[in-house]
Amino acid sequence: MSSSLKRILVTGGAGFLGSHLCDRLVSQGHDVICLDNLFTSQKTNIRHLLGKPNFEFIRHDITHPIWLEVDEIYNLACPASPVHYQHNAVQTIKTNVMGALNVLGLAKRVGARVLQASTSEIYGEPTVHPQPESYWGNVNPIGIRSCYDEGKRCAETLFFDYHRMHRLDIRVIRIFNTYGPRMHPYDGRVVSNFIVQALTGQDLTIYGDGQQTRSFCFVDDLIDGMMQMMNNNEGFIGPVNLGNPGEFTMKQLAELVLELTGSTSKIVYLPRPSDDPTQRRPDIALAREKLKWEPKVPLRDGLAKTIEYFKQINLADFRRPTASTAHSRMGL
Ligand code: NAD
Ligand code: UDP
């Protein structure tokens, strides 16, 4: 193995983003360890990698310490969909905080570079729009999204404290809504919900009046940015926003999914869950400047690729990660 090939740990490596990252790292020849407890994913996402000599899967919960010898760590382990991260809020906090402590401890012991997959959720209900990294956010500390938002905020704090105290080589990226093939069909996030609903003739469920906005980034673009950040050797550690600045209302998204699938499904309106942010759009000036990165795939093209993926999977092969729905606690 040449010296440019590394031993790389990807926590949450069987998930939506993690499996795409593992693909790239394995194809570059790195020795990849994918660690996952398969809470919101299935081996389906990494089945094609399982026989490869430079890929290894470890079923492990990152809230427990693990001893490995690696050169780099991508810390992605955490349920990303509100439906599933709210199912066991305490476990979500543990995954974010104890998970961060465990990967940081591991990185410190072996001198590895470590990247944290943070989130636009750390901005909460933003009062600054679009959101630059310098904005400190507007987060409810006691709401139903807090286990995730505050967990991720605390993880960022831990990363920067390990950097200050132990000179640990860290990278922090703040990911805005990303979509694409290998999202779990029962993930509960808006893109997968709308596509599965459209393809199976169910009503598309808009929460609220559909005027809330999100900015959607195609997975290939996001993984490019994530790897560029990890491989940046110019002293830039972040945090850096990674996302697509194109901003859409959920009503626009639903209409686009109907158009691209040719579905005759109807749109229905359900109550909006509490603390659901009204608007979200990344300011990516820093990523453009420091990483020379910007997304290339327009929403329409990315959705078309995602729809193709959902057309060829068999829904019967997937189990629901949890029994929760966005409206479980509303009794709907
Ligand atoms: P995902 O749910 O598909 O993947 C997360 C993976 O982490 C799953 O495979 C899950 O089984 C695993 N996991 C959860 N808890 C774990 C634990 N305690 N121990 C080990 N593994 C555990 O979600 P994703 O979209 O791939 O997100 C990956 C990361 O990126 C997450 O940290 C998420 O917070 C972050 N992120 C994603 C987005 C997005 O839009 N996709 C946006 C912001 C941040
Ligand atoms: N949403 C929706 N219908 C769905 C799922 C989600 O209208 O079936 C809305 C949700 O209320 C939110 C937006 O879509 O305003 C994005 O939700 P998602 O769970 O994908 O991500 P997040 O809220 O974490 O950005």
Ligand having the closest approach to the CA of 275:
2
Under DSSP, the state recorded for 202 is: P
Question: Which of 9, 10, 17 best tests ligand 1's pocket when mutated (most atoms within 8 Å of CB)?
Answer: 17
Mean of all residue pLDDT scores within the chain: 96
Tokens encoding 127: 């009062």
Q: What does the DSSP assignment read for 53-100? A: TTEEEEE--TTS------SEEEE--S--SHHHHTTTHHHHHHHHHHHH
Asked if pLDDT for residue 332 goes beyond 90, the answer is: no
Residues 109-142: tens digit of each pLDDT: 999 999 999 999 999 999 999 999 999 999 999 9
280 Cβ contact list (under 8 Å, min separation 6): 120, 123, 126, 131, 176, 177, 213, 214, 215, 247
Q: What is the C-alpha separation between 27 and 296, in angstroms, rounded?
A: 22
177 lines ligand 1 (CB under 6 A): yes
What average pLDDT does range 46-59 have in this prediction? 98
pLDDT (tens digit per residue) in 306-318: 999 999 999 999 9
* Mean pLDDT of the 12-22 span: 98
Of all residues in the chain, the percent with pLDDT exceeding 70 is 98
Average of per-residue pLDDT across 227-255: 98
266 CA → ligand 1 middle, Å: 30
CATH T-level fold of 7-179+217-242: Rossmann fold (3.40.50)
From the candidates 85, 123, 148, 179, which is the catalytic residue? 148
DSSP 43: G
What pLDDT shows up at residue 1? 42
Active site residue 186: no
CB-based contact 27:53 (threshold 8 Å) = no
pLDDT attached to residue 220: 98
Output the pLDDT for position 65. 98
Residue 110 to residues 5, 54, 106, 168, Cα–Cα distance (Å): 17, 20, 6, 10
- Range 190-214+246-278+297-330 classified under CATH 3.90.25.10: yes
Strand, helix or coil at 143? Answer: coil
Confidence of residue 330 (pLDDT cuts 50, 70, 90): confident
Which backbone phi and psi does 224 adopt, to 5 degrees?
-55, -50
Q: What is the mean pLDDT of residues 63-89?
A: 97
pTM greater than the 0.95 cutoff: yes
Closest CA to 213 of 139, 291, 299: 299
Q: Give the pLDDT confidence score for residue 2 in this predicted structure.
A: 44
pLDDT value at 38 more than 70: yes
Give the C-alpha separation, 143 to 181, whole Å.
Answer: 31
d(CA 233, CA 294): 19
pLDDT tens-digit readout, 242-270: 999 999 999 999 999 999 999 999 999 99
Predicted local distance difference test score (pLDDT) of residue 193:
98
Q: Which helix or strand (DSSP H or E) is residue 312 part of?
A: helix 299-312
Q: What gap in Å lies between CA 122 and CA 55, rounded to an integer?
A: 32
What gap in Å lies between CA 139 and CA 123, rounded to an integer? Answer: 7
Please say whether the beta carbons of 176 and 133 come within 8 A: no
- How far is the C-alpha of 136 from the C-alpha of 76, rounded, in Å? 22
- Atom index in ligand 1 nearest the CA of residue 38 equals 11
- pLDDT class for 22, splitting at 50, 70, 90? very high
Residue 242 DSSP SS3: strand
Model confidence at 283, pLDDT cuts 50, 70, 90, reads very high
Token pair of 201, please?
A: 């003739």
pLDDT of residue 328: 80
Length of the chain: 332
Q: Do domains 7-179+217-242 and 190-214+246-278+297-330 have the same CATH topology?
A: no
What is the DSSP pairing of strand 213-215 with strand 72-75? unpaired
Contact 12 CB / ligand 1 (< 6 Å): yes
| CB 208, CB 142: distance < 8 Å | no
Average pLDDT (221-242) is 98
pLDDT digits 0-9 by tens, 174-210:
999 999 999 999 999 999 999 999 999 999 999 999 9
CA nearest to 176, candidates 4, 3, 40, 17: 17
Helix axes 16-27, 219-230, angle to 10 degrees: 60
**How far apart are the two ends of the chain, measured CA to CA in Å?**
56
Which of 46, 63, 76, 227 gets mutated to test ligand 1 (max ligand atoms within 8 A of its CB)? 76
Per domain, the residue ranges of the chain are 7-179+217-242, 190-214+246-278+297-330
Selection from 203, 182, 227, 230 nearest residue 80 by Cα: 182
